[in-house]
Amino acid sequence: MTAHIAPIVPAEFPQLQALVWNRDSARPIPAEEAFALYERNWRFVDQKRLTAREKLLIRKLADEFGHGTLLMKA
């Protein structure tokens, strides 16, 4: 059984907020959707600007939904 990750507010994570530019970033989204956004749009994530908190979130999402791996599509 895997741990449950609560819905995520993109506005709390700068790079995720940039990925949801076309929607309300204050509105929580399911963790699995956040993971899919990171995976699908990794080329737009400025990895040098990831906060420690956002890196931790990405690791947790990868552990939960990606079997420990984030597929970085170019």
DSSP 4: P
**Domain boundaries defined on the chain:** 10-65
* pLDDT above 50 for 2: no
The residue to which tokens 């699995």 are assigned: 32
pLDDT of residue 29: 98
Residue with more model confidence, 37 or 68: 37
Residue-wise pLDDT tens digits, 47-60:
999 999 999 999 99
Taking the whole predicted model, whether its pTM rises above 0.95 is answered as no
The residue to which tokens 């940039």 are assigned: 18
Write down how long the chain is: 74
End-to-end CA distance of the chain, in Å?
Answer: 31
